[in-house]
Amino acid sequence: MPQLLEAGVNVALAVDGSASNDASSMTREMQLALLVHRVGTNVGAMPAQRVLHMATRGGAKLLGRPEIGRLEPGAAADLAVFRLDRVDFAGAMHDPASAILYCGSGVRADYTIVAGRVLVEGGRLIGIDEERLFHRANEIAARLVGQAERTTGVSYLDAPG
């Protein structure tokens, strides 16, 4: 990626669901992009600000959506807010973007606003019973795994890998 970016190629990051990284976590995807691209290069090859750009303006440019990917008048009111006044981020406030990507493991936004609507407040989805969703998803997954095991004769727990 660093070489592509240096060559002027637009690079975007996105998460389309749990198939992306089993967490549907954009911060985790950003964290992985930051860390994996440091292997075999110098430490400064993929700074947090570059990853943030790929995840915001890079994605907006790829989608042909100039109204997203930035915070300024006339842009869509899309915003993720993170509380960084926790011990996880102690000593990292000189660079908040780096703090989120380096210090936080499984960082979730405390507030998310999309098109001016609050969708996450206090770290919880608005208008969705997360506990019910959790249980329903596990019921469906158990049914799918059971069907796969019956069809293949291979136990999910015994499968290699």
Task: Please tell me the predicted confidence (pLDDT) of residue 105.
Answer: 65
The CA–CA distances, whole Å, from 100 to 27, 97, 103, 113 equal: 8, 5, 6, 18
Q: Is 88 strand, coil or helix?
A: helix
DSSP letters, 17-72, are: SHHHHSS--HHHHHHHHHHHTTTTS-GGGS-HHHHHHIIIIIHHHHHT-TTSSS-S
Mean pLDDT, range 145-160, rounded to an integer? 82
Residue 69 burial by Cβ neighbours in a 10 Å radius (0-12, 13-18, 19+) = buried
Taking only the tens place, the pLDDT of each residue in 49-58 is 999 999 999 9
Taking only the tens place, the pLDDT of each residue in 73-98 is 888 878 889 988 888 888 888 988 88
pLDDT > 60? residue 118: yes
